[in-house]
Amino acid sequence: MLPTLAIVGRPNVGKSTLFNALTQTREALVADAPGLTRDRKFGKVQFENSHYWLIDTGGLSSESEAILNLITQQVVLALQEADGILFLVDGREGLTVEDENIAQRLRPFNKQIILVINKTEGLSGELIAADFHRLGFETVHTISAAHRRGLAQLMETVLELFPEEKTEVDTTSLETVEEGIKVAIVGRPNVGKSTLVNRMLGYERVVVFDQPGTTRDSIAIPFERDGQRYTLIDTAGIRRRPRVFEVIEKFSVIKSLQAIELAHIVIVVLDAKEGMTDQDANLLGEVLNLGRGLVIAVNKWDGLSAAHREEVRYHLERKLHFIDFAEIHFISALHGSGVGNLFESIQTSWQAAQRQVNTSVLNEVLQKAVAACQPPLVKGRRVKLRYIHQGGHNPPVFVIHGNQVAALPDSYKRYLINTLRKELELEGTPIQLVFRQGENPFEGRKNELTLRQRKKRQRLMRHVKK
């Protein structure tokens, strides 16, 4: 097992900035506002051929708000999982009562604690550290996470504390970790995405609170089920652009859209009580544009009457006609009903998106489709589809070669997509068609033929004159 370090401290001391600096990524959302991080986020650190797991946590606070209590529970879980603790404090503000309270709360865990004094750029490290010696920690480091100062010395101390973990076996295992099927859970705020993630995992992994905007960052959680590896990605709720005012929410939306792009399969969560909204349709369109496998989960189904359920089914069938390939599940993430069936649809969509189809099989399907329904006439000439081959996967891309394919109407393209989906059993994933038009061998020779005709006419005229 690789050593695990947890970064803890009060809000707005730079924990996420230090996480990004040590992992050399921009995974953690960073802004000049307290309480931004709520769930714990895992990252990998490499230093001098040694590797570590790093956990970013939310800020510990003595206030008794419900959401803060949930954040504290996440921090406690991180401390239980960690081998060592990076206790981060703010050097510019100096030692506070909150810091002293946190230090007292950390000691019962009996973990190696490294006191890290952040935001010390332009200041005397020794003078700043003197104020924090009252906490009684032996190992103290002064750094500037934003300017990447003092990080090498900090990691050297970590190496000394965990020398036995520096092995080639661990390095190999870290680099070859299989992420499996990446599944992004997306939807509007407060539709139950985090509740669904916890239910699929089987334990309380992310913060769930009855308030829109609880999740602010995208959290990737690897796990295994029935021998198959998955990585669930919990995302922030996506609202319409005119309603997004805060800078933090704008960054959260960007991270959610990036999660869709990185995922193999996307589960779009709808609220059964509110039905499908315009924002839901826009979100589904974004998933289709990126070509991701799609599963639709209609949440909060248990709270509806029979009449209301029939009404919701009717409106969904009418509004979702453009994505008839996606499986729709009616679930209750809170009580778990229907959640287990999502994995079967994820597998179906994943297998369809990754499928490689033989060219001979594709051409046989194309010939049957053309024989059953001929392409239309264009300027008195029939569009000819000559052959087809696969051009990519995830999503499946098929390249069709022929004549006048640029004039092929959208209705016939949809007919070809539906035929390919039915014959090849490509359910749960969009299909993309690319058309290639063959070159006209007579194109550009019109003037040349006219010139020959002129010369022939001149010869005839000379013969007539004679």
Whether the CA torsion 272, 274, 279, 282 is positive or negative: it is positive
Contact 14, 21 (CB under 8 A): no
Tell how far CA 211 is from the center of its chain.
Answer: 22
pLDDT class of 418 with cuts at 50, 70, 90: very high
Radius of gyration of the chain (CA): 30
Given a cut of 50, is residue 171 above it in pLDDT? no
The model's pLDDT over 51-91, given as tens digits with 9 standing for 90+, comes to: 888 888 888 876 656 666 677 777 888 888 888 899 999 98
Share of the chain above pLDDT 70, in %: 81
The confidence band for 399, taking pLDDT boundaries of 50, 70 and 90, is very high
Question: What tens digit of pLDDT does each residue of 196-241 get?
Answer: 988 888 877 765 444 444 454 567 888 888 888 988 888 876 655 4
Distance CA 197, CA 267 (A): 11
pLDDT at 39: 65
**263 in Cβ contact with 182 (< 8 Å):** yes
